[in-house]
Amino acid sequence: MTNIAICLLIPFLGTVLGSAFVFFMKREMPSLLQKTLLGFASGVMVAASVWSLLIPSMEMNEGKGSWAVLPAAVGFLLGMAFLLAIDYLTPHLHIGDQSPEGPKSRLSRTAMINLAVTIHNLPEGMAVGVVIVGALNSGSGISTAAALAMAVGIAIQNIPEGAIISMPMRSEGNSKWRSFAMGSLSGAVEPLGGLAVVLFAEALSATLPGLLAFAAGAMLYVVVEELIPESSEGEHSNLGTIGFAIGFVLMMVLDVVLG
C-alpha cells in the first residue's frame, strides 16, 4: 500500500514544485521558455503513451497472434473519444486563448482555466493508476519499477506544467499564493483519478490491455489537441521541437532503465 501511495502522489508533487515557480519568476513566463516546456511535456507524454502503455498492452496479448493489436486499437480510440467528449461537454479556457470552449457558462476565466487543466491532468492520473494495476497483476509483465518510472516521468512533466499554469494565473491578477494554490490543486485530480482506477483493480484486471491503451489515447489527445499546437504556433517553434525531443528521450530512458 505504501508503494501505491508513493506512486500516486509523486506526479502531484511535481505539479506543486512547478507551481512554486511563481514565487521566483516575473508576472509572466517568457514565451521562449513556455514553448520549450510545452514541447518537453509533449515529449514525455508521447513516450509514456508508447513505451509504458501501448507496447505493454500489445505484449499482454502476444499469444493471440494478429488479434493482439485489437484491444490496444479499440482502447486507444475509446480514450481519444472519452477526452473529446469531456472537451466538448465541459466549459473551459486554454491558457493564452481569449474565447472559452465547450458549452456557454458564467464561470470566471480563472475557473475555466482550471477546468482546462483538470481535463489535461485526468488522463495522466488514470495512466499512473492503470500501470499500478498492471504491476499488481502478476501475469501482466509490468513491474513495480515500471509503475514508478511512469509516476516519475509524469512528475517531471508536471514540473514545467505547474509553472505554465501558475504563471498565467498570476498574470490574470491573482496573488502569488493564490496562483500557487490553484496551480497545485490543478494536479490533485491525478492521484484521485489514479486511486479510482486502483480501487477497481480486481474488476478491471480482465480488461487491462484495453485500459492501458485507453489511457494512452486520452494522453495523446491532450498532446495533439493542446500541447503541440501551443508549442508550435508563432515564432521560435523550433524550441518546442527541441523540448519534445528531450522529453521523449528522458521518458524513454526512464521506462527502459527503471522498467
Of the candidate ranges 53-57, 117-121, 174-178, 211-215, the one whose mean pLDDT is the lowest: 117-121
**20 pLDDT band (50/70/90 cuts)?**
very high
Q: Which residues of 86-125 are buried (b: 16+ CB within 10 A; e: fewer)?
A: bbeebbbbbbeeeebbbeeeeeeebebbbbbbbbbbbbbb
Instruction: Report the distance separating Cα 86 and Cα 18, nearest Å.
Output: 25
Q: Is the pLDDT of residue 180 over 80?
A: yes
**52 pLDDT band (50/70/90 cuts)?**
confident
Distant-in-sequence, close-in-space partners of 200: CB < 8 Å, separation ≥ 6: none
Residue with cell 516519475: 152
pLDDT at 1: 65
pLDDT at 80: 93
Q: Is the pLDDT of residue 232 over 90?
A: no
Q: Give phi and psi for 234, each to the nearest 5.
A: 75, -155
Instruction: Report the distance separating Cα 5 and Cα 67, nearest Å.
Output: 35
Q: Is the pLDDT of residue 152 over 80?
A: yes
Question: Residue 213 to residues 77, 182, 220: CA-CA distances in angstroms?
Answer: 8, 30, 10
Instruction: Report the distance separating Cα 205 and Cα 186, nearest Å.
Output: 29
Q: What is the pLDDT of residues 79-125, one digit of tens each?
A: 999 988 888 888 767 666 667 777 777 777 767 777 777 777 888 88
The Cα angle at residue 224 between residues 206 and 199, in degrees rounded to 5: 30
Nearest to 166 by CA among 3, 15, 14, 2: 15
In this prediction, residues 11-29 reach a mean pLDDT of 84
Q: How many residues does the chain have?
A: 259
> 215 by DSSP, 3-state: which?
helix
- Name the residue with higher pLDDT: 47 or 139: 47
Residue 212 corresponds to which cell in the numbers above? 492501458
**155 pLDDT band (50/70/90 cuts)?**
confident
The Cα angle at residue 155 between residues 238 and 194, in degrees rounded to 5: 125
pTM of the model: 0.83
pLDDT at 97: 66
The Cα angle at residue 207 between residues 129 and 202, in degrees rounded to 5: 60
